[in-house]
Amino acid sequence: MREALISLPATGAILLFSACGGGGGGGSSLEAYASQLAAFGSDPTLASRTPDATVNALNASATYNGVVNIGTDAASNPAGAAAYYGGLSVTVDFTNASATDSLSGTAGNFVQYFSEIASPKTGGAVSGSISLVGNLTGSNESGIGDGLNGTAAGTIDGINVSYTFDGSIDGLAGNGMSLFFSGANADSSGGVGLAVD
């Protein structure tokens, strides 16, 4: 099980988002996302990083689908600091077997599941999507978050968000992915994404 802390500086509160492994895609309701995150908890694919030799031997594109939970921290948001579930899809081009292997992806279909200030949107879908771009680093085994990195930007519920992320390719055959997001502007906090191919 991996955990990510999302800091909400506006209130000094810290939310602990437990995000552990299982199938991707699926619906965009609060219940569907909660169920997907629970399924990730029993998915052995996400329990270990893929050995570097295995990552380097992969020679085709792979698409990983899963769930992201991510936060905003915008004074302009009527909900104040807020957190969301969303669908995640990331494609990695393994053809170069090196740190130049690129990745791209999207997160969207967000559902608000927390707000610092009472919000009628809690439990409901909100607009927006974020785009991810990055690459493999060539050191997937050296530590959590060392296997890949990049940036993500877009909007969530009308808030312009920007994140950096790092992560790893997971599983004995490289068929899982863990991402850890950090806010890169004042309106973004952090989060975690988990996916399988």
pLDDT in tens, 106-165: 999 999 999 988 888 889 999 999 999 999 987 888 766 678 999 999 999 999 999 999
CATH number at residue 57: 2.40.160
Stated as kind and residue range, the H or E segment containing 30 is helix 30-40
Q: pLDDT tens, 26-47?
A: 457 899 998 898 788 778 999 8
- Residue 99: which domain range? 2-196
Entry pTM: 0.84
Distances (CA, A) of 6 to 81, 101, 183: 10, 29, 9
Angle at 160 (CA atoms; ends 129, 180), nearest 5 degrees: 65
Overall number of domains in the chain: 1
